[in-house]
Amino acid sequence: MDGHYGYKRIIKEMWPMVLMILVTSVDSIVDGWFISNYAGSTAFAAMNIIWPAIAIISALGLMVGAGGSALVSKTYGEGDIERGNRIFTMLIRLTFVAGLAISAVFFMFMRPASIALGAEGDMIRYAVIYGRIVTLTLPVYMLQLAIQPFCMTAGKPALGTVTCIICGVNNIVLDALFVAVFGWGLTGAAVATAISFFLGGLIPVIYFSSRHNSTPLQFVRHSRDDWKAIGKSLSNGLSEFVGNISYNVVGICYNLQLMKYIGEKGVSAYGVLLYIGFIFGSVFIGYNMGVSQVISYKFGAGDKKELRSLLQKSCVLIAIAGLLFTAIIELLAPQLAYAFVGYDAELSNLTTYALRIYMVSFLICGFNMFASAWFTALNNGPVSAVISFTRTLVFELGCVFALPLILGIDGIWLAVNVAEVLALLLSTALVLGLRHKYGY
């Protein structure tokens, strides 16, 4: 991570991380496509009801990965490789143990959780089946989320990419076999996802534990607990944790509002919005995960000129991507909706209409996501968390309940756009207001 990062080097070194997250997003979308087209809209809605709770639990791995990798990269930049490896080992161990405990509790309370999240009638049974099967491998999935950012720290971004490609291909093949060929419906999709989760967590752990690991990043056999470092890592990754939880809490509230205003069709349409949004949003997520390690390294090395350059170039790249993504979605909205719910003309029209309103947010959301990642990389978790928390749990949650009172159902689809504009004002103020502190 030494030397200057121009546009060419940024794109060259960030694309494996972007591809990794993109493959992960496609992997999750495959489940939705097979369930929607082979098991029906009720099973599809049930999966979308329970998935936010699964994502909230797995967010612990994301927090450890984002915050821990930033700290380890900074430690490497300061020249202390040994301490960085101790921190890495402790954090991965913590993730797995916590994942076992939390997943066990969630497994036992799956039915009441499904009902509380808005499932009704047959949706309850589907939600419980899908949730319990996937939860069996959640601790390993949390390991995957935790280790992915460390692949960039180790200088092996392709490891994460190859892992995700293996998992994605596995999930697609098993979905086709279990759901389309064997006719197992929602159960088959859940089994396919669980197997993919298991592989995703196991492959990188085996690599970093093996003799073939030629990177500086190593598991150490004996490492006393450094609670200060653990606390700092969790603090650094707080924004990703809060942002993920907030995003999924907002998703739960969207489902509750849609059940109130439209019913099951509204939840299915929103599920398609999330899938399409996740595909394009994964580019921003992957870029942020990759560039954050470089930012942390430059910060640890005291290279303020390079920090300023990375900030400017990232904003330009994000602006270009946002314009491109919005144009694609607006042009292809009918085709995208038909791919998921073409079997129901009314639902397909509703989804197309919602896509064209909801996805305008991509003109802005990339900047807010990067601003949060920027402060995480600078090891300022609290400021990063403020951006993530306010953007979703304050602005968007407030809009999704307030705007429908004025605009009806259109207010639900417009909520994210209004929230992103408000969040951009906050993000800009914080990035500019703290520039003298960090010298960028």
Lowest-pLDDT range of 140-144, 237-241, 294-298, 341-345: 237-241
Instruction: Provide the pLDDT for residue 229.
Output: 82
* Percentage of the residues of the chain whose pLDDT score is greater than 90: 48
Cα separation of the two ends of the chain = 18
Instruction: Provide the pLDDT for residue 420.
Output: 96
Instruction: Provide the pLDDT for residue 214.
Output: 87
Instruction: Provide the pLDDT for residue 158.
Output: 80
Lowest-pLDDT range of 88-97, 197-206, 220-229, 246-255: 220-229
Instruction: Provide the pLDDT for residue 12.
Output: 87
CB pairs under 8 A, 24+ apart, for 109-114? 110/50, 110/135, 113/50, 113/53, 114/46, 114/49, 114/50
Sorted by sequence, the CB contacts under 8 Å of residue 187 that are 6+ apart come out as 129, 130, 133, 178
Q: What is the mean pLDDT of residues 71-76?
A: 86
Mind listing the pLDDT tens digit for each residue in 369-396? 999 999 988 888 889 889 988 998 899 9
- Where helices occur in 210-303 by DSSP H, the ranges are 227-236, 238-261, 264-301
User: SS3 for 5?
Assistant: coil
Instruction: Provide the pLDDT for residue 225.
Output: 62
Backbone region of residue 224 per phi and psi (left: phi > 0; alpha: psi in -120 to 50; beta: other values): beta
Instruction: Provide the pLDDT for residue 203.
Output: 93
Mind listing the pLDDT tens digit for each residue in 8-46? 998 888 887 788 778 777 767 777 889 888 988 889 889
Q: How confident is the model at residue 99 (pLDDT cuts 50, 70, 90)?
A: very high
Instruction: Provide the pLDDT for residue 440.
Output: 78
With 80 as the cut, is the pLDDT of residue 224 above it? Answer: no
Mind listing the pLDDT tens digit for each residue in 154-163? 888 788 878 8
Instruction: Provide the pLDDT for residue 105.
Output: 95
| 72-110: burial string, b at 16+ Cβ within 10 Å, e else | bbbbbbeeeeebbbbbbbbbbebbbebbeebbeebeeeb
Query: Of 2 and 346, which is predicted with more confidence?
Result: 346
Query: Of 24 and 234, which is predicted with more confidence?
Result: 234
CA distance 113 to 296: 39
Q: How confident is the model at residue 71 (pLDDT cuts 50, 70, 90)?
A: confident
Instruction: Provide the pLDDT for residue 19.
Output: 81
CA distance 363 to 366: 7
Instruction: Provide the pLDDT for residue 17.
Output: 77
Mind listing the pLDDT tens digit for each residue in 104-133? 999 999 999 999 988 888 899 999 999 999
Q: How confident is the model at residue 102 (pLDDT cuts 50, 70, 90)?
A: very high
Q: How confident is the model at residue 223 (pLDDT cuts 50, 70, 90)?
A: low
Please tell me which of 190-194, 224-228, 341-345 the model is most confident about, judged by mean pLDDT. 190-194
